[in-house]
């Protein structure tokens, strides 16, 4: 009987490493006599259960928030040609804000642009502390209800600072 549990557990363990499978096949070995009987069960995987749930609607008013982040520019600009570093840094800040706030409309403050370009095209700071505010879009023909506004925050050393929610 102890062999039954180990066979089931090891097979189930191996099936967990195959993400493409929508169903798991569990093999139950029973040894009533000298022959082995095979019972096959299909079980819904977690990914199949998660995909069936519908996303809930959120109100735009509750989504207005501001947070301070430290963006590690050095790792995002590694291997980028010197003459393209500052322009790429602006693109990386925009992509970071898009992922952090979930808005495709990202606007950069002119002071942040100056801070990025402060040391020239190839001398972008290793880390930049920014405040990203998700705001309501009041324009009439706006595609999205919200946009993100990214501002520079002056700190002496941005290394090691955690993300903070800011009250505006």
Distance separating alpha carbons of residues 22 and 59, to the nearest angstrom: 33
Q: What CATH number was assigned to the domain covering residues 65-166?
A: 3.10.440.10
Domain boundaries, the chain: 65-166
Q: What is the pLDDT of residue 41?
A: 60
Contacts 24+ apart (CB under 8 A), 109-112: 109/149, 109/150, 109/151, 109/152, 111/151, 111/152, 112/150, 112/151, 112/152
Given a cut of 90, is residue 2 above it in pLDDT? no
Beta bridge partners of 118: none
Given a cut of 80, is residue 6 above it in pLDDT? no
Q: What angle do CA 59, 57, 55 make, to 5 degrees?
A: 150
Q: How confident is the model at residue 34 (pLDDT cuts 50, 70, 90)?
A: low
Is residue 36 within 8 A of residue 67, CB to CB? The reply is: no
Residue where the block lists tokens 């790429």: 88
Between helix 85-101 and helix 110-117 the angle, nearest 10°, is 140
Q: Give residue-wise pLDDT tens across range 58-90.
A: 555 568 999 999 999 999 999 999 999 999 999
Given a cut of 50, is residue 133 above it in pLDDT? yes
Q: How confident is the model at residue 114 (pLDDT cuts 50, 70, 90)?
A: very high
């Amino acid at each position: 009987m102890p062999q039954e549990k180990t066979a089931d557990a090891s097979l189930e363990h191996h099936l967990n490493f195959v993400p493409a499978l929508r169903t798991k096949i569990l093999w139950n070995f029973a040894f009533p006599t000298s022959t082995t009987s095979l019972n096959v069960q299909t079980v819904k995987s977690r990914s199949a259960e998660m995909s069936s749930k519908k996303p809930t609607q959120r109100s735009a008013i509750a989504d207005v928030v501001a947070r301070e982040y430290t963006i590690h520019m050095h790792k995002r600009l590694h291997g980028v040609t010197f003459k393209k570093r500052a322009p790429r840094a602006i693109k990386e800040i925009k992509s970071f804000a898009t992922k952090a706030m979930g808005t495709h409309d990202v606007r950069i403050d002119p002071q942040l642009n100056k801070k990025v370009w402060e040391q020239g095209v190839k001398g972008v700071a290793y880390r930049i502390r920014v405040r990203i505010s998700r705001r309501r879009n009041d324009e009439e023909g706006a595609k999205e209800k919200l946009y993100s506004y990214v501002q520079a925050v002056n700190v002496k050393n941005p290394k090691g600072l955690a993300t903070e929610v800011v009250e505006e």
